[in-house]
Chains A and B, each alone.
Chain A
């Protein structure tokens, strides 16, 4: 087989693979996937939240143990992360609604720089406490791989639920109401 026919073979094989993937994808996503997605997009867990202290952008320290007895929402994000940008308006809106009810909100930026994080906070008008996990120590203690991820912690300090991916207002309301 010469170089030209080998090249053609690779192009044809690649095109065939793309086509097969497109067809497979279309067939499968039209099937049972649609129904399963909505029910399994988050996880219930009953582990105690790891304690930590975070330096906030206003210079104060956020010590998690100081908030024992209150429901807490912790959102991990990064300024460069697309779904984090999508969910931030919903988080901010729900924070306004639930802070008067006693829920504590905290944003933790990971894999980010202070400057970019501050720009992000200013751009989206975030009013709840935010800090940068510079050493990734908090990230590791939560066992976090992808972003965004949101943790819902009950009054006893137990992680009641967490959601990997962008959150919606409905999801936030549903989970926070369970903590109150």
Chain B
């Protein structure tokens, strides 16, 4: 199995029944990207806005894929401490997501935040969101991921497995980013969205705050059990 097949495996899983498992993170990523888009729209030159979305999508993909693949590759020395401290890391992730949610809520209210609202900052936040989402995610093991994990769990093939897990995670991220950008291109120009941009942005911020609280308090398992269980 090569990197291309792994990317395709991750990408196609997003648009299949496996999306149910990805629902652990996908609505929250959409809330994040829509939130930062609506915090930017109308304030910056229009063609720039697209660039403000695409670069954060790339940094999200990198952050998510790197940590996702490290967690998958249990044969790597670095993987064990990450998994053994996953509870603490999820709390820390919750705190980071809390700050990102607050940023989206307050960016138009506090002038200092407005000044630092740059593509660089958004790309950094996206990178952090990517890392935190990999940590809070409990993947359902698809047949292809099962094969990758089998390879990644052996010490002598762990690097090869990590490499494939990285591409698999990138495939999931590409699909998620494409869906989010398509949603923004489709709905972002609608009059009703622009008229209520601030309200929608705030809702996006609140959705991220809910995710943050769920991870800090350990309630995330209730979200998984009830929401994902309900969909199935």
**A residues at B contact (CB < 8 Å):** 1-3, 6-7, 10-11, 14, 17-18, 21-22, 24-29, 32-33, 36-37, 40-45, 78-85, 110-113, 115-116, 136, 139-141, 143-149, 162-166
Instruction: Give 15 A-B contacts (CB < 8 Å), ordered by A residue.
Output: A14-B178, A21-B4, A27-B4, A36-B147, A41-B143, A41-B147, A78-B138, A111-B225, A136-B87, A140-B85, A141-B84, A144-B83, A145-B138, A146-B139, A162-B153
The answer to whether the Cβ of B11 comes within 8 Å of any Cβ in the partner chain is yes
The answer to whether the Cβ of B174 comes within 8 Å of any Cβ in the partner chain is yes
Q: Which of A6, A41, A43, A110 contacts B50 (CB 8 A)?
A: A6
Chain B 1-21 against A: per-residue CB contact (8 Å), 1 yes, 0 no? 110110111011000011011
A164 touches B149 (CB 8 A): yes
Known: A40-B150, A112-B221. 20 other contacts (CB 8 A): A7-B185, A21-B174, A24-B8, A25-B8, A28-B2, A28-B4, A33-B1, A42-B146, A43-B149, A78-B138, A80-B20, A82-B140, A83-B140, A113-B222, A141-B84, A143-B79, A145-B139, A146-B138, A147-B140, A163-B150
Name the CB-closest residue of A to B7.
A21
* Chain B interface extent, by class: 35 or more
B153 touches A164 (CB 8 A): yes
**B residues at A contact (CB < 8 Å):** 1-2, 4-5, 7-9, 11-12, 17-18, 20-21, 46-47, 50, 54, 71-72, 74, 79-80, 83-87, 138-147, 149-151, 153-154, 157, 171, 174, 178, 181-182, 185, 220-222, 224-226, 228-229, 232
